[in-house]
Structure 1
Amino acid sequence: MRARIMLSTLAGAALVATALPAPAQASGTARGSASYSVTISGNVNGRNFQRSGTVVLRSTVTRVTTNGVNPVDVCLKSGFPAGAPDVGAIWYGSNSACVRSAASLDMAFVSVNGNTVTVSPDKRISATSANNFTATSSITTCIYYPVEGGATYTFRDNGTVSGRISIRGFGGYPCGNSTYNATLSGRRN
């Protein structure tokens, strides 16, 4: 078990190191992280959307966890689902630090395979609402919390990222479940 965690941590560190910009280009980027501007296209609860967002790949935020230490942390933000609902608005991160929470709560299971990172929600923690998405722009919209599925992100040496999101969220009564399916692509800032 300890060897598996060590290998996973080493793979994550190598991925972050290759994804980071060269030192001369690193101004404005926090140490141990790389930010990407992305376009997200997809469908949420039967509604098509295309929107801009940000993906941040960063070194492991916390080693205190109940679901395994993340080899890296990945954060996707597009809009502000809980405060300004919109079709396809989403906050989906592997750690609550993605939304500037002081708690740094590990929100997901993360694995690294080469340059690809997979993030799957930990449904036991979904009720914290740090991760959420919306399907409409109505003030009375339901806010869905990811409980199944996940996202994959592939970070390339040329400074690009591509990915796929396929999650099911739960919005409580009377909202029920919603699905969010999208692809994304973008370039490092």
Structure 2
Amino acid sequence: MARVPALVLAAVLTAAAVGCSHAEPDAAAVSTLPVATTTAAATTTTAPRSTTSTTTRAPRASTTTRTSEPEPDKPDAVVGLGEYAVRVSGTVAGRPFRHEAHLYVTGTIAEVGTANGVNALDVCLAVGSPVGVPQVGALWFGSNAGCFPAASAADVDLARTTVTSGPTVEVTVEPDGTVTEATGLNAFAAPAGAAICPSDIGGGSLRLSFDGGGGVTGRVTVTGRAGLCGVGGAETEYVADVTGFLL
């Protein structure tokens, strides 16, 4: 094996030593980078926490659940209370009809003893006399017996009324079948074979829209069975449009 001259060996060792002495400063310089990176990351993490907190509180402050609920006195400002002359036209058991009728709107009649909640308004639609003079299309449908002028039952809650206020006031009346059967109110007249029979209203609704100027439009869609004159039959549907004005 050839021997390396002493001078050459000394030069190699000296170069290695110099290379090692430069490695330490470079490592020290690089080691400072994670510190700067960690600080920046901590700053970035703090910012989203602040944003999240602000975003969470904002919807709570702007919650409108309470203001969207009907206020007891608000419907009266748009809905004229009293008697409306209305026209009701539609079909019952496939038979067409058209009648002049009356719609009665009052403030809350019964505040206690109601099985389906206190009504913000009480509404009664009277089309002829489905029990006394059962002509096709005759109907009585109301939320309380007290708003039918000729009703014998005093202030009996008959249905649930929902009121939604806005540019117009939307009123929905949904019957309580158990009360209807007990009082004999809320019924319509429909053909059943050769007869015309009163039918208790068992389901459906009366939907009305009041425009604030004395006008009203709506639709009544209810169902019942023509069994009150001894003729048992299938369920019958009564569908009609309602339009009119405050007298």
Is TM (by shorter chain) over 0.5?
Answer: yes
CA contact (8 A) 2:136 2:196 kept: no
**1:68 aligns to what?**
117
2:201 pairs with one of 130, 143, 146: 146
Deviates more, 1:166-175 or 1:62-71: 166-175
CA contact (8 A) 1:135 1:141 kept: yes
Q: Which amino acid in the other structure matches residue 95 of structure 1? A: N
RCO (CA 8 Å, sep 6+): is it higher in 1 or 2? 1
Q: Which amino acid in the other structure matches residue 125 of structure 1? A: V
CA contact (8 A) 1:16 1:57 kept: no
**2:161 aligns to what?**
110
CA contact (8 A) 1:170 1:177 kept: yes
Larger Rg: 2
Query: 1:163-186 deviations in whole A, cap 9, x for unaligned?
Result: 011111123351342110011101
CA contact (8 A) 1:159 1:187 kept: yes
Equivalent residue pairs, number:
171
1:171 pairs with one of 221, 226, 229: 226
1:120 pairs with one of 174, 199, 203: 174
Query: 1:15-66 deviations in whole A, cap 9, x for unaligned?
Result: 123323xxxxxxxxxxxx3211011110001101111101111101101201
Q: Which amino acid in the other structure matches residue 107 of structure 1? A: L
Q: Which amino acid in the other structure matches residue 116 of structure 2? A: N
Q: Which amino acid in the other structure matches residue 187 of structure 1? A: F
TM-score under structure 1 length normalisation: 0.82
User: Percent of aligned positions with the same letter in both sequences?
Assistant: 35
CA contact (8 A) 1:87 1:137 kept: no
**2:9 aligns to what?**
none
Unmatched runs of 5 consecutive residues or more in structure 1: 21-32
Q: What is the deviation of 1:139?
A: 9.4
**1:44 aligns to what?**
92
CA contact (8 A) 1:165 1:183 kept: yes
**2:190 aligns to what?**
135
Asked whether 1:19 is paired with 2:67, we answer no
* In structure 2, distance between residues paired with 1:91 and 1:15: 23
Query: 1:72-98 deviations in whole A, cap 9, x for unaligned?
Result: 100100101101111110110001113
Deviates more, 1:131-140 or 1:143-152: 131-140
Go from structure 1 to structure 2 and tell me whether the alpha carbon gap of 1:166 and 1:49 turns closer, same or farther (over 3 Å shift): same
What is the SS of the residue equivalent to 1:135? strand
Q: What is the deviation of 1:141?
A: 2.3
**Over aligned residues, Cα RMSD in angstroms?**
2.2
* In structure 2, distance between residues paired with 1:137 and 1:40: 21
CA contact (8 A) 1:19 1:34 kept: no
Q: Which has the higher helix share?
A: 2
CA contact (8 A) 2:85 2:100 kept: yes
CA contact (8 A) 1:16 1:58 kept: no
